[in-house]
A and B are shown apart, each in its own frame.
Chain A
């Protein structure tokens, strides 16, 4: 390093005058070059760190809010299935059974559990501990098993959303359960919290009796939307998203691949195909809401297709995804080496056979990854679906592609607008589910790309 020409064994001659690449000036220049490189690396690392930090903050804020929604507070009550209330005639007619006064059973159970509560206001508050879905739960139980009539059963009910939020600590009164048991009063003033001291007292009593439990919130994954947070699920939106994506896939892939194959392999290169190519590339950059307007004007108003239906949503998303699929497919076709095409042509394959037997199979992984990424985009798309009416409040699970439905991102959008505290965590939970699907799809794309890595 220090001495430029060491006399190593076998060295022919010692250089007397250092070459220009050994001069101090050159060394300084070299050092500056290395410094520039180091700075560049630092910028890059900083950029990555910033992006990663934002991602972590985002995920943390979503998950820390959302994870609570996967649990739900339940309250156990002793229900007496009174034949006089449920089935006075003794006919066990399912229709009659379904219409019986189950709320009455729940109310009686509550009054029995808290005999000291009297007065209309207090009793109404007491009833509000249990979700309004409780009576449907009982109706389902009795219709499924009429032998319950006349017996007394312990039944777990969903707590109402305020109690649930209180139990989870998102609407606290300022002191813990143990402190309250020890007689310490709440620190948060009563009029600034949705549940008053009496409610808290009842809850504490139920808790002490072992009548409070936390269970997995299966409602979130099995039920449709609801005004009541504890009864609101996203299964309807998941099914809606599924139907919509099926339509998108069924339209975008065949059309996109066929268009790409034609443009790439058969179309003559002239002004027309250039124009088409430019248009396709520009289409990929069109704001998605424009596709929604198009869908509204063409499919709803002109063709009269049903509003809010996955059919229309799927068509609109297919239009939006087409450029992605076409561009990805063309890139995949281009990546197939010409030597393979020549080899096939050389043994007398027709252009069609070359494409079908050699080019498409080799391009398939690229097409697949492009398609999956397009689908993931479509899965997360909201704006165009708002335009075709998929933003409606829909309780029922869609049964087909023409039923009114909504999709996951729209559901998230709608929930995020609702005032109840319980919807805040459900919004985050729904985002987590949506992100889960997206990660799954992108993971699949990566896996397929790895699996079918080019093998020539």
Chain B
């Protein structure tokens, strides 16, 4: 540990959160979030607020706990037996690890797009329709058609697949698959969309496409995106949080972080000194 224990000082973080120009209200509030994989601690007490209708980027060197934090937000970590989460995470003021919360309901509200495109081995149509169907949305065929079309349009995939909705989603290219997964996440109209390196498998054109999409989605959704690409974080996000060795070192307006980082580790990382 370096002299950076100040970062786990709640008041400091609260201040930095408040400093941020992040408009709107806090959608997700995390306080002292600690995650353990067995005996190994992956997150050492994260304080982070995520604002509604904004894009928050999580950056940091590999293995620092970005994915781990992201997966806490929709309790995807529950699927890992050895994983234990401590601390408080609130969605609209409600503790998502509380007794009354239902993970199925939570995951309908907090959607996720994974690093590797993972369409279901079903038709393109069914990929989109699956989520709404299990939640009882779009029971009528024509309603569902509208949902599928809208979601694909928003993900910028409609024109490419409108004639082949019956074909398997796994037959699409990597970039198309990732947009399909985004469309699938949008189709259930979540409130928050978590994206774990959504562009890491994509070429620059597909990446640009998805970045555009993220920017559009911001109007209706709250977005948290993990990325290794500094330019991408700078382009799409309003706020950026820098993670390092299980700590959330610094969070601020994206512009501030990239132009005027307060912590020397942040500076080191974004200027490419390590990571």
Contact = CB atoms under 8 A, between A and B. Distances in A.
B188 A348 contact: yes
Contacts of A215: none
Contacts of B131: 347-349
A423 B114 CA distance: 67
A269 B81 CA distance: 8
Given A345-B107, A346-B76, A349-B104, A357 B121 contact: no
A455 B168 contact: yes
Contacts of B184: 343, 347
A269 to B, nearest CB: 6
Interface in B68-119: 74, 76, 79, 81, 104-105, 107-108, 111-114, 116, 118-119
B43 to A, nearest CB: 19
A339 B118 contact: yes
Contacts of A455: 121, 168, 170
Contact of A343 (B105, B119, B134, B135): B119
Interface in A320-361: 337, 339-350, 353, 357-358
A266 interface: no
Contacts of B134: 347-349, 353, 357
A456 B170 contact: yes
A336 to B, nearest CB: 10
Contacts of B119: 343
Interface size class of A (residues with CB under 8 A): 20 to 34
B46 interface: no
B185 interface: yes
B107 A348 contact: yes
A346 B104 contact: no
B36 interface: no
Contacts of A353: 134
Nearest to A362: B121
A347 B130 contact: yes
Nearest to A349: B134
B107 A342 contact: no
B181 interface: yes
A357 B168 CA distance: 16
B258 interface: no
A92 to B, nearest CB: 68
B126 to A, nearest CB: 10
Contacts of A344: 120, 130
Nearest to B102: A350
Q: Which of A346, A350, A362 has the most CB of B within 10 A?
A: A346
Given A340-B121, A342-B118, A456-B121, A347 B81 contact: no
B114 A346 contact: yes
Contact of A346 (B74, B121, B168): B74
A251 to B, nearest CB: 31
A342 B76 contact: yes
A339 B104 CA distance: 17
A357 B122 CA distance: 11
Contact of A340 (B104, B107, B118): B118
Contacts of B74: 346
Interface in A404-456: 454-456
A339 B112 CA distance: 12
Contact of B108 (A340, A342, A348, A357): A348
A339 B120 contact: no
Interface in B114-166: 114, 116, 118-121, 130-131, 134-135
B185 A347 contact: yes
Contacts of B114: 339, 342-343, 346
B264 to A, nearest CB: 36
24 contacts: A339-B114, A339-B116, A340-B120, A340-B121, A343-B181, A343-B184, A345-B79, A345-B107, A346-B113, A347-B107, A347-B108, A347-B111, A347-B187, A348-B105, A348-B134, A349-B104, A349-B130, A357-B130, A357-B134, A358-B120, A362-B121, A454-B121, A455-B121, A456-B121
Interface of A: 269, 337, 339-350, 353, 357-358, 362, 454-456
Given A340-B118, A342-B114, A456-B121, 14 more contacts: A269-B81, A340-B120, A342-B118, A343-B114, A343-B119, A343-B184, A346-B76, A346-B112, A347-B107, A347-B130, A348-B134, A349-B134, A357-B134, A358-B120
